[in-house]
Structure 1
Amino acid sequence: MNPPAPLVRRLILSDYRSYASTRCEFDARLVALSGENGAGKTNVLEALSLFSPGRGLRRAELAECARRDGAGGFAVSLELESDGASTQLGHGLTQEGERQFRIERAPVSSARAFADHLRVLWLTPAMDGLFNGPAGERRRFLDRLALGVDADHGARVNKLERALRNRNRLLEEGVSDKRWLDAAEQEIAALGVAVAAARRETVSRLSALIVAGESVFPWADISIEGEIENMLAEAPALAVEERFRETLSQTRRRDAAAGRTLTGPQTSDLAVRHGPKGEAARDCSTGEQKALLMGLTLAHARLVAKMTVKAPLLLLDEVAAHFDPKRREALFHELEALGGQIWMTGADPFLFASLEGRAEMLHVTPGRIERRG
């Protein structure tokens, strides 16, 4: 039996990107948005992705999301149905540049509060180069995986980044009072171990689910390459925290010369192999990498559903064009089996032809979203 899944019943965009004022209602769990390139399909997915902590699927500055000819801010509101009850969620940016979050029209402190109502996952064309790109992109992807099951993970990562910047500044300035560095390194050690532990647990759970599951997409063999993560495999967290703190203390001169902290989870990498081939993902063909990433995304969605007891909202930007008709239809069946609401975009409506009667078919033109006749 699928876990209960939140369903977006209504979406309202005000001065968001290409939308001056748009209101749409939805009945289906599969939503297919088609339209020409530049029509505004990805804008809709981005607006939904901002109901998750962070800067959304484009990682854009929020001011960029405000409509170019608008008043300077924007607002996004949705009505979410879950377990027979409706909840209104909203986020936006004021003309003064203040980000706002609301649940049932009452202010909340951050997007973290939305995690009690829905989890949002996504896959975009910008992620196609994940396996060949820099380690920093894979760490960000890994942290999104962890955030899907642990809504507080993002806050810990942000605190760790601030603590590292503080230590780097202290080293650069050559502070004479070592107590400042001791305090900074104690904070980094505690946060670093917490971040590394959350990553390890997510990868462990996801790996187990991948092995136990079945999919038409190739399975991924995933692991973490990182000094702190390796320590956690051999010793309790408190012992690793103390060893990490000692390492930081002993490497101050080296890190000062480098201008950054060279040891810690901020240097870790996500290693991915094509399971059936036993080959590093970076060495696979473009088509194999896309299929591998799709399989990993589907497995993560299943993990989120299992861990949070709510199937996630899954946003798939321009995903259907990647696959031949047979695999595309197999993808649609796997998406339906997830039990959550799935939003897909594609330039060609023919890509979603087999979903007629099974999905909400929408046509997007600049500033407008309409049901396809």
Structure 2
Amino acid sequence: MADAAPRVVRLTRLALTNFRNYSAARFDAEASHIVFAGPNGAGKTNLLEAISLLSPGRGLRRATYAQMARQDAGPETGWTIHARVTKDGEESAIGTGFTPFTTSRTVRIDGEDARPDDLSERMRILWLTPAMDGLFTGAAADRRRFIDRLALALFPAHGRRANAYDRAMRQRNRMFEDGVFDAKWFAAVEREMAEHAAAISQARFELIAKLNAAQAVRAAASRDFPQAVVSVVGDVGEAHERRFADFLEKVRERDRAAGRAITGPHRADLEVIHVEKNMPAALASTGEQKALLIGIILGHAALVTRMVGETPVLLLDEVAAHLDPGRRAALYDTLDALGAQTFMTGTDQSLFTALGDRADRFHVEGGKVAPVTGLG
């Protein structure tokens, strides 16, 4: 979207019922920065998880919906999340919830039934959690989920394509297991896999190209967080779907022996290079890896703002804990420049002193969320 000013998105109210450790909780906030501070285990991350469920998917913890219900409320307890969101002042009401003995959650937007995918039209939500600190050295599956989550913020259909690919791949795997040899059946399933694989790969590669460009722009403007160059390896590439379908036919017996598809977008990995040190991120120090990850998220937030034409909502869990005061202040200033609304958690309000009066602050403890005044 060209040079038009981005639409400003703000979550102004959140209300929870029987969600995690909250029997009922509500807060109102309109500031660019919202801080939740309180002791460990108080439920700060639970609030961010609730906000993350106002986007497609299973949220920032990827828990089952049943696990999100308040555990001491009994086995038949569901949960609900209600929110009010403004976009350039125009308000929407969003709700999602889960009822026991079902497998999916419900979504309502402005009183009408909707799909989880429709939530992207109201907000693009990005997050960074302590569980992601080991991203560069951990399992490839975590890095795939990470890059696909970034892609989803730009291409809302990406999640549907990934799910469709997984369904077709599982069907092909079951055919191996059941001893099916009919070439026509396999060809039909492999064409479906190839169609979705090509779309998944195209979205990933387009994201990577634009993200690297955004990272370069961000790094040129500020050296507070190191620049990363990211790439996807082991994917099917931007090959035409027909070529991938032909490939699946050629390796069919190899995959039959393995009992699964060995090659495809489900086996891709993310590689990250620390530009200033010209080294893989996996070899960087723990502090450098954290700074690289923050830099990627900041670059992605700027990219979403430019491409979508609206500011995203950022969820930064314990982001300030391992940053020195200078880098914390730089982070808050960068977030200001982005214009995105940011929800942050920490054990102590002092971690956010550099925000001054730019933040709405809340104390979280014992399943309660209470506004804090007089710390600006």
TM-score range, shorter chain: over 0.9
Aligned AA for 1:121? L
What are the superposed Cα offsets for residues 82-130 of structure 1, whole Å, 9 maximum, x if unpaired? 112111001011244351100012211x211111111010000000010
2:232 is aligned to 224
1:261 is aligned to 261
What are the superposed Cα offsets for residues 294-339 of structure 1, whole Å, 9 maximum, x if unpaired? 0000000111111110110100000001200000000000011111
With normalisation by structure 2, the TM-score equals: 0.94
1:55–1:62 contact (8 Å) kept in structure 2 = yes
1:33 is aligned to 36
2:142 maps to 1:137:
yes
What are the superposed Cα offsets for residues 14-48 of structure 1, whole Å, 9 maximum, x if unpaired? 11111111121112110010000000000000000
User: Structure 1 residue aligned with 2:130, among 120, 125, 146?
Assistant: 125
Distance in 2 of aligned mates of 1:95 and 1:169:
29
Aligned length: 364
2:305 maps to 1:305:
yes
Deviation at 1:176, TM superposition (A): 3.1
Aligned AA for 1:306? R
Identity value in percent? 46
1:2–1:338 contact (8 Å) kept in structure 2 = no
Deviation at 1:287, TM superposition (A): 0.4
Deviation at 1:227, TM superposition (A): 4.5
Distance in 1 of aligned mates of 2:138 and 2:67:
25
Distance in 2 of aligned mates of 1:87 and 1:113:
13
Distance in 2 of aligned mates of 1:320 and 1:91:
30
Distance in 2 of aligned mates of 1:5 and 1:150:
19
Distance in 2 of aligned mates of 1:372 and 1:353:
13
Structure 2 gaps, min length 5: none
Distance in 1 of aligned mates of 2:264 and 2:254:
14
Deviation at 1:354, TM superposition (A): 2.1
2:61 is aligned to 58
2:370 maps to 1:351:
no
Select between 169-178 and 17-26 the one with higher mean Cα deviation: 169-178
User: Structure 1 residue aligned with 2:78, among 73, 88, 96?
Assistant: 73
How does 1:16-31 map onto structure 2 within 5 Å?
16-31=19-34
1:158 is aligned to 163
Structure 1 outlier segments of 4+, above 2 Å? 95-98, 212-215
Distance in 2 of aligned mates of 1:103 and 1:150:
20
Aligned AA for 1:329? A
Distance in 1 of aligned mates of 2:126 and 2:97:
20
1:149–1:304 contact (8 Å) kept in structure 2 = yes
Please report the RMSD computed on the Cα atoms of aligned residues, expressed in angstroms: 1.2
Distance in 2 of aligned mates of 1:362 and 1:222:
36
Deviation at 1:291, TM superposition (A): 0.2
1:106 is aligned to 112
2:175 maps to 1:175:
no
What's the secondary structure of 1:78's corresponding residue? strand
Aligned AA for 1:258? A
